[in-house]
């Protein structure tokens, strides 16, 4: 089943952010966007890569809100520090049982 990144991004952009969004849905979206990030080729559009990374971070923030995990993803600029925070957040979520 092919993955349509643009479809997921449109759904995320139009979906209302709610504290009541099921964590299972957030986890499924996280896995889909993470797979898309892993599949980018060097010649792929930088815009698509940036949009996918931003969508992934937005999903991580939603997961953190649902599971009450502190994060600094919305405070850090793109770069090494944000990458490190992303890995830390992913590990915290994994420890809480969320399959990323």
Query: 26-67, pLDDT tens digit by residue?
Result: 999 999 999 999 999 999 999 999 999 999 999 999 999 999
Q: Using CA atoms, how far apart are residues 31 and 33, in angstroms rounded to an integer? A: 6
Q: What is the pTM of this model?
A: 0.78
Boundaries of every domain in the chain: 20-95
Q: Using CA atoms, how far apart are residues 15 and 76, in angstroms rounded to an integer? A: 24
Residue 85 reports pLDDT greater than 90: yes
pLDDT grade for 96, boundaries at 50, 70 and 90: very high
Q: Which helix (H) or strand (E) holds 38?
A: helix 23-39
User: Which among 51, 90, 56 is positioned nearest to 71, based on CA atoms?
Assistant: 90
Locate 75 and state its tokens: 């405070």
User: Which among 95, 82, 93, 96 is positioned nearest to 30, based on CA atoms?
Assistant: 93
């Amino acid at each position: 089943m092919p993955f349509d990144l643009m479809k997921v991004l449109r759904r995320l952009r139009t979906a209302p952010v709610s504290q009541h969004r099921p964590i299972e849905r957030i986890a499924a979206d996280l896995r889909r966007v993470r797979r898309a990030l892993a599949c980018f080729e060097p010649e792929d559009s930088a815009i698509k890569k940036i949009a996918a990374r931003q969508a992934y971070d937005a999903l991580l923030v939603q997961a953190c809100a649902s599971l009450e995990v502190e994060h600094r993803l919305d405070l850090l600029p793109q770069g090494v520090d944000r990458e490190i925070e992303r890995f830390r957040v992913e590990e915290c979520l994994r420890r809480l049982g969320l399959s990323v």
